[in-house]
Amino acid sequence: MKELAVIFVFFFGITVISFAQKAENKVVCFKSDMDCANCEKTLTENLKFEKGVKDLKVDHITNTIYVEYKDGKNSDEGFVRAIEKSGYKAEKITPDQYKKILEQAAEEGHLHGSEVHKIRK
């Protein structure tokens, strides 16, 4: 009976450890070259279906993209390819740089009337 109890505790312990080792979420941020709300919508629609995406923020005013994704389901390079496939630039920046850009935009405000639409290839 003691052996059965030891075996049960051993397997139960392994099960708990394996559930505790869930894949971590990773964050990757990009500076892009969006022009308008339609660019933002295009990127949002294309990126939200990439594997592993947990949170996505695309902003054409600051030209930034924030992606939180499940590690092992995708990679930073995978998102670069997806952004470039959509026809936009994908310059990787750190989460701290991303926060700083958002803070500057909040302080300075923005003008929607200054949007310039580029012809995409």
Q: Is residue 68 part of a domain?
A: yes
Which residues face 58 on adjacent strands? 65
Q: Is residue 18 part of a domain?
A: no
Full residue range of the structural domain in which residue 39 is found? 23-114
d(CA 25, CA 52): 9
d(CA 31, CA 64): 5
Sheet holding 91-93, edge to edge: 53-59, 64-70, 25-31, 91-93
Q: How many structural domains does the chain have?
A: 1
Q: Is the pTM of this model over 0.85?
A: no
pLDDT in tens, the chain (121 residues): 556 544 544 455 544 444 445 669 999 999 999 989 999 999 999 999 999 999 999 999 999 999 999 999 999 999 999 999 999 999 999 999 999 999 998 888 755 545 555 555 5
Q: Is residue 41 part of a domain?
A: yes
d(CA 67, CA 47): 9
Which residue is listed with tokens 């894949």? Answer: 23
